[in-house]
Amino acid sequence: MSEERTKAADEMFCPSCGEVIKKEASICIKCGVAVSNKKPAGLNVSEKSRLTAFLLCFFVGVFGSHRFYVGKIGTGVFQLLTLGGLGIWTLVDLILILTGSFTDVTNKKLSEWDTSYR
Ligand SMILES: [Zn+2]
């Protein structure tokens, strides 16, 4: 009970139980809850959902919908006008999304399938 709740520079509080954990930790060692973090490792990770982009690309990709979704308006319009490069461009995008290589307008990769916890 007398334990001080202080944290070092490389530590943070677990959002679930409040335990002090390492910032690099992806899971809290105390409560086992996955810790959402937007630092270092996540710097190049888009906050856009890969799943949403995939679904948009899969169903209405020829209209450039997935590109509008990630903020790539310019190429989105172009894709819309060319019907996704007659489907080929859309197919390439679909593969990029599936492999996690698709990027948003800020050049961050859409590597998270589920971003709802952010
Ligand atoms: Zn915890």
Q: Which residues, including other chains, have CB under 8 Å from residue 52's CB and lie 6 or more apart?
A: 69
**Residue 52 pLDDT > 90, yes or no?**
yes
| Protein residues placing their CB within 5 Å of the ion ligand 1 | 14, 16-17, 19, 28, 30-31
What sign has the CA pseudo-torsion 49, 53, 54, 56? positive
Question: Which tops the pLDDT comparison, 23 or 61?
Answer: 61
Per-residue pLDDT at 82: 95
Domain residues of the chain, as ranges? 1-37, 45-118
Q: What is the DSSP string of 62-113?
A: GGTHHHHHTT-HHHHHHHHHTHHHHTHHHHHHHHHHHTT--B-TTS-B---S
Residues 21-47 have pLDDT tens digits of: 988 888 898 998 888 655 545 568 888
How much distance in Å is there from the Cα of 54 to the middle of ligand 1?
Answer: 32
Tokens read off for 54 = 């995939």
Radius of gyration of the chain (CA): 19
Q: How far is the CA of 13 from the centre of ligand 1 (A)?
A: 8
